[in-house]
Structure 1
Amino acid sequence: MSVEPVRIGQGADPDRPESAINMPPDRFLDREEGWLRFNQRVLELAEDTGIPLLERVRFLAIFASNLDEFFMVRVAGLKRRLATGLAVATQSGHHPRDLLERVAEVTHELMLRHAECFAHSVAPALAEAGIRIVRWDELDDTERHRMRRFFRCAIYPILTPFAVDPAHPFPHISGRSLNLGVTVSDPEAGPHTFARVKVPPMLSRFIELGGERFVPVEDVIAAHLAQLFEGMEVLEHHAFRVTRNADLEVDEDETDDLVQSLENELLRRRFGPLVRLEVEETISDAVLRILRHELGAEEREIFRVPGPLSLAGLDQIADLDRAELKYPPMVPVEPRDLQGRTEDLFELIRERELLVHHPYESFVATTERFLALAAADPRVVAIKQTLYRTSGDSPIVRSLIEAARAGKEVVVLVELKARFDEQQNIQWARTLEDAGCHVVYGVVGLKTHCKLALVVRREGDGTLLRYGHIGTGNYNSSTARVYEDFGLFSADPEVGEDLSDLFNHLTGFSRKSHYRRLSVAPGGLRSDLMAQIHQEMDNAARSEPARIRIKVNSLVDEDIIDALYEASRVGVPIDLWVRGACALRPGIPGLSETIQVRSILGRFLEHSRIVVFENSGDPRVWLGSADLMPRNLDRRVEALVRVADPDQTRRLVELMDLAMADTTASWRLGPSGTWTRATHDAGGEALLDVQNTLRGDRHLRAVDG
């Protein structure tokens, strides 16, 4: 694809953004296929024999879990658009029906590749290491005897077979459940009958036989079907699995009780429309016909793959205590600014803003400590906090509860609609309310996705000073050990005023749009980003230093992409570090030839969002919670904070340059949407691994004083 250059601002179409003028219609990649190619990169890590074995097992589990969510959300969304008659073309120009066909084609390919990796690469390597996942016919007599006792004591009492006949309608199959489709015959009556046996979700995915030998739980159940259908002849049995639409539909304008409405929707989630039927490739045509008819599955929704199914359960194997088969242990360090300091954390933050990089630098010694000290400090009079996702046993929530019980003013904004964490967030909201915290649920119609904490403290002279934390990741102690994120602690009055204004907006009625060091969505963030992109274009036109560097999880917003294309056309170098889906086509002459896109996956989940504008040689750097997606810029409350400290600015710019360098291992995106993995240079030397470098290089993780 090649296009003629266009003058900035040329032409005016009131119905289209200026940056879209004279742009080629095929300039966007499919968001859905882009996400699938991200999950393909996860699979490539599982296929990489240079990665420790149990980490490869975990990548197999992550791939399967990711694909479940993709079907439950993205495929479900496409099907809903077709069903409701809103089937307009996607940003790539494809009709949702055509896109569903393409999604089915790519996912079939990836699921077969996933099964192949498990059966012919990972499972044999596990066996060589003494860890065996065996099928029932591979068990010896002693193991079978042990499993018969285990079945009778631990499985049989919780099984319920459901026959299908005129008196027994086909049972509902809940989403993500593993099931056995069984055909039985009555020796006296003769007719064949279909029955369904659900594998109880409270059972381990793999039953331990002893000596690091495991058998899939469905094999144990299948071997004892005669006990469930006593007096009947079991003719055949096959595993199958259903994925269902998991999006929640709550009209906040019409409900009087958001919590109750969400709980009702969570009950319905298990029974949403089918979006995928997985069956083992050995399934008979007769049983598949029954499942297809009863479940209403279309041909493209049926996925025949080698067993075993439900490999997200491989996490159980990845968790085995075999340190030699895992990444070397990493203990997060205390940030250099905190080392050897005897004064309290508040004094340090008053003196200088603190930038921390997780998981390389300790979440416990910084974020958890900040809120624990605030809860215990008698000078602290108020704490305000957003919670989007948090851990099951959250130290941060405990600190908020302790603060409320100590008589401090504690306000917690709990986002009830955080997908797949809704039930846990409802429970946390009730726990916090019971402790005396003021709990609110944000702005009607918007998800609150920003990661903010504000502590108000009375200093020795009697004045009130605000201490803030703005993060790129959730207040979650568990994920902080494996998610890469940044957090900025500040006592700057401008940051404090911004946080107060934003919390007032979230808890009350306010149309606040102007902030000092924050850029907030919806309303301001999109226009701020566009203005700074155009400023870089102006700088380039004046032959001043101009460059744009962006790190996000997803880049699919059409207006932002068009603005980046526009900047590329006038010669602005653009570096994009995108973990997941990217709808921008880089390297196209006349459109995006100055744009390069990289993706880095590895031991840690790259999760931080960083935006750097060269600003004529005085870089402006932003950190925050927002990806470059329409939902983040228009339908969520997001916040980016401008980094003011020159050392911290330099640190983040260096990180971006490190990731984008040709000497760094990464996946590189081509104009056609193909990602190519680069791990070695032309001479065969291994390229630098960003995460290993950060894990071992203290200079990149700590600011020199």
Structure 2
Amino acid sequence: MEHSPQTQYINQESSLLEFNRRVLEQAKKEEVPLLERLKFLCISSSNMDEFFEVRLASLYEQLLDPTARTKPDEMQPKFAIDMLLEKAQGLVAEQYHTLNEVLIPELEKENIRFVRRANWTAVQKQWLKEYFTKSLQPVLTPRGIDPSHPFPRIMNKSLHFIVSLEGKDAFGRSNALAVVQVPRSLPRVIKLPKEATDGENDFVFLSSILHEFVSSLFPGMEVTGCHQFRVTRNTNLFVDEEEVDDIMTALQGELSGRHYGGAIRLEVSDQCPQLMYQYLLEQFNLDENQVFRVNGPVNLHRLNAIPDLIDAPHLCFEPYSQRQLKTVDMHSTSPFKVFTKKKAALTLFDQIAKKDILLHHPYESFGPVIDFLQQAADDPNVLVIRMTLYRTGEKSAIIDALKRAAQNGKEVTAVVELRARFDEDNNIIQANRLQDAGVNVVYGVVGYKTHAKMILVVRRESGDQLRHYVHMGTGNYHHITTRFYTDFGLMTANQTIGRDVAKIFQQLTSLGDTKNLELVLQSPFSLRSGMLDRIAREAENARQGKPARIIAKMNGLQEKGVIDALYEASQAGVQIDLIVRGICSLRPGVEGMSENIRVTSIIGRFLEHHRVYYFLNDGDKPELFCSSADWMSRNLLSRVETCFPILDEEYFQKIYKEGLEIYLQDNQGAWLLQEDGSYVQKACQPDEDAFSAQQWLIEQYS
């Protein structure tokens, strides 16, 4: 059967919207604690912002190229945009339905109330008037619109109100319109104090306060309408890396204009008259299908502040404690001593030399990785530290350790990826801090983001022998995200892996040709071909009647060559299970093409982030890899990524079980991809017990 690209592949942006729909469904689940449900709604709102300012923005850029097509489904950008806007309209409407018809009534049952203007008591209104006068009015900037006061430049995702007026201004002129900007620093929900209400958790939307008292900003004039709006802009950065001498300077120049890229979406109150929002569309040069009329605050993500304002632990996930690595004393005053139960003093390097250390985050603490660097910084036998940095956070113990290592006279190199989306500012700051401390800082390779997660420590040991110690992982070196992203990290003294990692760092700093790696697969060179070869091997084994199996877990699957190889393997009879959290452009279950492929997406308390790839290899010597790379075009073709084998048999079985097997058993947070690109929640069968992979892991590690 012949398949066109549209029927053979799922549009990746459409798949991303489906992922966000699954996130939103978490906000409706009664078994999820109520304040956590509110957080899921906020996450879905934040995801939609990024969808417009990055994904859809990129498609609008492609409209300028008549030959441009989406990948891998080869749609013309115009048709893709129209299709995606229609889907997005439905998803946004569902978000506000969830807020107004599901969550707010449930919150009211717990005496958490959003007090509407129509229901304000006299006491509440007086308190809110004083709040407006003292805390809001001094920081608001009303701008009348006339020939000398043109429509203001509106910042990306900032809250504004458009106000219609009647009467004369202070200079005797008629002014029909004004715009009021609300600073980002202001809260979007205000908790009423005890003296103003009889409820413990009563909130008022900032927009309601503005609506009520906005006339104070226009004395002598009558306000006839006041409507909130927000514009989402293109936040993609445009840096021609081949044409600039200093990428940091070029990026800094681009970042200053990021807030004012081309408009992509307009959100307005559903009470806003058509004449008014048509005026706004004209100002932003937007079409009718780019306006989203919403029944509630235009930025649902800002409701994320509410759980922190409420003391209601029973409405949140039960706290869990990350397991600490048993052999490490995290509070030792010695900078490089660890202790076993037998009181034998060992360095962490001694421990790794005896046996690899495998960490499973967030169930296990990220502390040992920080210890690894801190000990390396202070150990007089450590000569060299090299590390990739993609996202680290603002206050990072890792940055401090690298600085101290350089100050202690070690040769320290940090490969800082300045182009980590939305972390560019922080990465520039951290790069400057490192350079000031004497760290050798490089920014990766022109045209290729450095997304690999690896640390190399070179240590002098007995007989002046130099030994390599390595940490490689599937996730970022970010102390906050390690608390809610699922990732594997491996610390190893395997010298073959150590040599491979040393070669990759040499390549990143010298730009020399270093492709002859022994165990580690690397993008953009050997990772894609390595995966394709293994998929093809499974297909050939199936054709010969040998055992054949592929299980792969990742965040996204979109690369056409990999999808085609999986289709071919399916047709050869290979049983394939894919656990893909987000984008998946592969269509499973299509007769004659992919009937042996199943795709599962897990949505739960933690963000599924591991990348784990398993190939049965005739059952003789199965292979298991962990990787920083998804099976996306960007990861396999235009980034520096690593994929490393798990050689220790104990850890092989552990990762297989904890990273793959239990996810295929999940019947609580699992969604199954359908042939048409939609997802259905996996049902718990009558003969099955309820099983959640994440909850099982929490219980195992607690």
TM-score per shorter chain, which class? over 0.9
Note if contact 1:568-1:591 (Cα within 8 Å) is conserved in structure 2: yes
Q: Which residue of 2 aligns with 1:222?
A: 211
Q: Which residue of 1 aligns with 2:224?
A: 235
Name the TM-score, length of structure 1 as normaliser: 0.93
Note if contact 1:679-1:687 (Cα within 8 Å) is conserved in structure 2: no
266 and 86 in structure 1: CA distance in 2 versus 1, 3 angstrom threshold: farther
C-alpha RMSD of matched pairs (Å): 1.8
Q: Which residue of 2 aligns with 1:328?
A: 318
Secondary structure of the 1:132 match is: strand
Note if contact 1:72-1:275 (Cα within 8 Å) is conserved in structure 2: yes
Residues 1:526 and 2:528 aligned together: yes
Report how far residue 130 of structure 1 moved. Answer: 2.1
Once the two structures are superposed, what CA deviation does each residue of 1:622-648 show, in whole Å capped at 9, x if it has no partner? 101101111111110000111101111
Q: For 1:470 and 1:419, how far apart are their aligned partners in 2?
A: 22
Q: Which residue of 2 aligns with 1:358?
A: 361
Amino acid at match of 2:496: E
Note if contact 2:142-2:217 (Cα within 8 Å) is conserved in structure 1: yes
Residues 1:271 and 2:271 aligned together: no
Q: Which residue of 1 aligns with 2:196?
A: none
Amino acid at match of 2:684: H
Q: For 1:23 and 1:109, how far apart are their aligned partners in 2?
A: 27
Secondary structure of the 2:63 match is: helix
Note if contact 1:665-1:680 (Cα within 8 Å) is conserved in structure 2: no
How does 1:71-470 map onto structure 2 within 5 Å? 71-88=52-69, 90-187=71-168, 191-210=174-193, 211-319=200-308, 320-335=310-325, 340=341, 342=344, 343-364=346-367, 366-470=368-472
Residues 1:647 and 2:647 aligned together: no
Amino acid at match of 2:434: L
Q: For 2:666 and 2:629, how far apart are their aligned partners in 1?
A: 27
Higher relative contact order (CA 8 A, sep 6+): 1
Once the two structures are superposed, what CA deviation does each residue of 1:405-436 show, in whole Å capped at 9, x if it has no partner? 21211111111000000011111111111111
515 and 414 in structure 1: CA distance in 2 versus 1, 3 angstrom threshold: same
133 and 83 in structure 1: CA distance in 2 versus 1, 3 angstrom threshold: farther
Report how far residue 322 of structure 1 moved. Answer: 2.0
Q: For 1:170 and 1:85, how far apart are their aligned partners in 2?
A: 33
Q: For 2:6 and 2:87, how far apart are their aligned partners in 1?
A: 23
The count of corresponding residues between Structure 1 and Structure 2 is 678
Once the two structures are superposed, what CA deviation does each residue of 1:196-237 show, in whole Å capped at 9, x if it has no partner? 111110111212212322212222233222221111111110
Q: Which residue of 1 aligns with 2:565?
A: 563
Amino acid at match of 1:677: Q
86 and 204 in structure 1: CA distance in 2 versus 1, 3 angstrom threshold: farther
Note if contact 1:579-1:601 (Cα within 8 Å) is conserved in structure 2: yes
Report how far residue 258 of structure 1 moved. Answer: 1.2
Residues 1:513 and 2:515 aligned together: yes
Once the two structures are superposed, what CA deviation does each residue of 1:310-349 show, in whole Å capped at 9, x if it has no partner? 0011210133442111111011102467674752221111
Q: For 1:403 and 1:183, how far apart are their aligned partners in 2?
A: 61
5+ unaligned residues in a row in structure 2: which ranges? 194-199, 329-339
Note if contact 1:161-1:228 (Cα within 8 Å) is conserved in structure 2: yes
Secondary structure of the 2:104 match is: helix
Once the two structures are superposed, what CA deviation does each residue of 1:607-630 show, in whole Å capped at 9, x if it has no partner? 010011111112111101101111
Secondary structure of the 1:47 match is: coil
5+ unaligned residues in a row in structure 1: which ranges? 4-21
How does 1:17-96 map onto structure 2 within 5 Å? 26-88=7-69, 90-96=71-77
Report how far residue 263 of structure 1 moved. Answer: 1.1
Once the two structures are superposed, what CA deviation does each residue of 1:498-533 show, in whole Å capped at 9, x if it has no partner? 111001111112111121221000011111111111
Greater shift in the superposed pair: 118-127 or 486-495: 118-127
Once the two structures are superposed, what CA deviation does each residue of 1:429-460 show, in whole Å capped at 9, x if it has no partner? 11111111111100111100011111111224
Once the two structures are superposed, what CA deviation does each residue of 1:16-37 show, in whole Å capped at 9, x if it has no partner? xxxxxx8876210111110000
Q: For 1:163 and 1:358, how far apart are their aligned partners in 2?
A: 53
134 and 25 in structure 1: CA distance in 2 versus 1, 3 angstrom threshold: closer
Amino acid at match of 1:396: I
Note if contact 1:337-1:354 (Cα within 8 Å) is conserved in structure 2: no
Note if contact 2:667-2:692 (Cα within 8 Å) is conserved in structure 1: no
Report how far residue 168 of structure 1 moved. Answer: 1.1
Report how far residue 180 of structure 1 moved. Answer: 0.6
Secondary structure of the 1:654 match is: helix
Amino acid at match of 2:673: L
Note if contact 1:665-1:687 (Cα within 8 Å) is conserved in structure 2: no
Report how far residue 462 of structure 1 moved. Answer: 2.3
Amino acid at match of 1:301: Q
Greater shift in the superposed pair: 155-164 or 593-602: 155-164
How does 1:546-625 map onto structure 2 within 5 Å? 546-617=548-619, 618-625=621-628
Q: For 1:90 and 1:555, how far apart are their aligned partners in 2?
A: 12
Secondary structure of the 2:232 match is: strand
Once the two structures are superposed, what CA deviation does each residue of 1:460-483 show, in whole Å capped at 9, x if it has no partner? 432221110001000000010000
Secondary structure of the 1:292 match is: helix
Q: Which residue of 2 aligns with 1:7?
A: none
Secondary structure of the 2:491 match is: strand
Name the TM-score, length of structure 2 as normaliser: 0.94
Q: For 1:125 and 1:380, how far apart are their aligned partners in 2?
A: 57
Note if contact 1:536-1:546 (Cα within 8 Å) is conserved in structure 2: yes
Greater shift in the superposed pair: 125-134 or 351-360: 125-134
Q: For 1:461 and 1:125, how far apart are their aligned partners in 2?
A: 69
Q: For 1:193 and 1:663, how far apart are their aligned partners in 2?
A: 58
Q: For 1:185 and 1:97, how far apart are their aligned partners in 2?
A: 41
Q: For 1:264 and 1:256, how far apart are their aligned partners in 2?
A: 13
142 and 73 in structure 1: CA distance in 2 versus 1, 3 angstrom threshold: same
Secondary structure of the 1:464 match is: strand
Note if contact 1:414-1:439 (Cα within 8 Å) is conserved in structure 2: yes
Greater shift in the superposed pair: 62-71 or 662-671: 662-671
Note if contact 2:393-2:426 (Cα within 8 Å) is conserved in structure 1: no
Amino acid at match of 2:209: V
Q: Which residue of 2 aligns with 1:669?
A: 673
Once the two structures are superposed, what CA deviation does each residue of 1:584-618 show, in whole Å capped at 9, x if it has no partner? 01111211111110000100000010011111112
Note if contact 2:667-2:683 (Cα within 8 Å) is conserved in structure 1: no
Greater shift in the superposed pair: 655-664 or 383-392: 655-664
